[in-house]
Amino acid sequence: MLNMDMTQRVVINTNELDWQASPAAGVLRKPLAREAAEHGHATSIVQYEPGSSFKTHQHPFGEEILVLDGVFSDESGDYHQGNYFRNPPGSSHAPSSASGCLLLVKLHQFQAEDTTHVCIDTKTAEWLPGQGGLQVIPLHQFGTESVALVKWPAQERFKPHTHVGGEEIFVLKGEFRDEHGHYPAGTWIRSPHMSKHHPYVEYETIIWVKTGHLT
Residue 47 has a pLDDT of: 98
Full 3-state SS string of 20-65: EECCCCCEEEEEEEECCCCCCCEEEEEEECCCEECCCEEECCCEEE
Q: How far is it between the farthest Cα atoms of the chain?
A: 46
Q: Angle at Cα 121 formed by Cα 11 and Cα 105, nearest 5°? A: 35
Phi, psi angle pair for 14, to nearest 5° = -65, -20
Q: Which domains does the chain have, with CATH numbers?
A: 10-119 (2.60.120.10), 126-211 (2.60.120.10)
CA distance 148 to 105: 15
CA distance 142 to 136: 17
Residue 24 has a pLDDT of: 92
Fill in the DSSP letter of residue 160.
P
Residue 165's SS3 state is coil
CA distance 125 to 162: 28
pTM of the model as a whole: 0.97
The residues, ordered by sequence, that sit 6+ positions from 89 with a Cβ below 8 Å of its Cβ are: 59, 60, 61, 62, 110, 112, 114, 115
Residue 110 has a pLDDT of: 93
The one-digit pLDDT tens for each residue of the chain (215 residues) are 999 999 999 999 999 999 999 999 999 999 999 998 777 899 999 999 999 999 898 888 999 999 999 999 999 899 999 999 999 998 999 999 999 999 999 999 998 899 999 999 999 999 999 999 999 999 999 999 999 999 999 999 999 999 999 999 999 999 999 999 999 999 999 999 999 999 999 999 999 999 999 98
CA distance 101 to 205: 22
